[in-house]
Amino acid sequence: MARARLRVAVGLLWLLRIGAFVLLFAPIALVIAMSFGGDAYATFPPRSWSFKWYLNVFRRDEFASSFLTSLTVAALVTPISVGIGTLAAYGLWRRPGATARALESVFMSPVLLPLVVTGLAVLVFVNRVGIGTGIPAIVGAHVAITFPYAFRAVLAALGRYDRRLDEAAASLKVRPFRTFWHVTLPLIRPGIVAGAMFAFVMSFDDFAATIFLIAPDTRTLPIAIYQYMEFNLDPTVSAVSSLLVVLATIGVLVVERVIGVDRFFGIGDSTR
Q: Which of residues 134-173 bind another protein (CB under 8 A)?
A: 143-144, 147, 151, 162, 164-173
Judged by phi (left if over 0) then psi (alpha if -120 to 50, else beta), residue 260 lies in left
CB 163 within 8 A of CB 98: no
Among 71, 120, 135, 258, binds another protein (CB under 8 A): 120
Q: What is the rounded CA–CA span in Å between residue 222 and residue 41?
A: 21
Among 77, 158, 222, 236, binds another protein (CB under 8 A): 222
Among 77, 155, 192, 201, binds another protein (CB under 8 A): 201
Q: Is 39 in the site for another protein (CB under 8 A)?
A: no
CB 233 within 8 A of CB 41: yes
**Closest separation in Å from C-beta 43 to another protein:** 6
**Closest separation in Å from C-beta 56 to another protein:** 16
**Closest separation in Å from C-beta 13 to another protein:** 5
Among 98, 112, 217, 231, binds another protein (CB under 8 A): 112
Q: Is 24 in the site for another protein (CB under 8 A)?
A: yes
Site string for another protein, 43-82 (x = CB under 8 A): xxx-------------------------------------
Q: List the one residue out of 241, 259, 140, 242 whose CA is nearest residue 198.
A: 259
Binding-site residue total for another protein (CB under 8 A)? 107
**Closest separation in Å from C-beta 51 to another protein:** 19
Residues whose CB falls within 8 Å of the CB of residue 121, separated by 6 or more in sequence, listed in order = none
Class of residue 162 by CB neighbours under 10 A (exposed 0-12, middle 13-18, buried 19+): exposed
Q: List the one residue out of 92, 192, 91, 209 whose CA is nearest residue 144.
A: 209
Among 47, 61, 105, 128, binds another protein (CB under 8 A): 128
Side-chain-side CA neighbours of residue 270 (13 Å): 4
Q: Is 124 in the site for another protein (CB under 8 A)?
A: yes
Site string for another protein, 84-103 (x = CB under 8 A): xx-xx-xxx-xx-------x
Q: What is the rounded CA–CA span in Å between residue 206 and residue 166?
A: 38
The whole-angstrom distance between residue 43's C-alpha and the CA centroid of its chain comes to: 31
Q: What is the rounded CA–CA span in Å between residue 142 and residue 147?
A: 8
Among 108, 190, 251, 258, binds another protein (CB under 8 A): 251
Q: Which lies closer to another protein via its Cβ, residue 51 or residue 249? A: 249
**Closest separation in Å from C-beta 101 to another protein:** 14
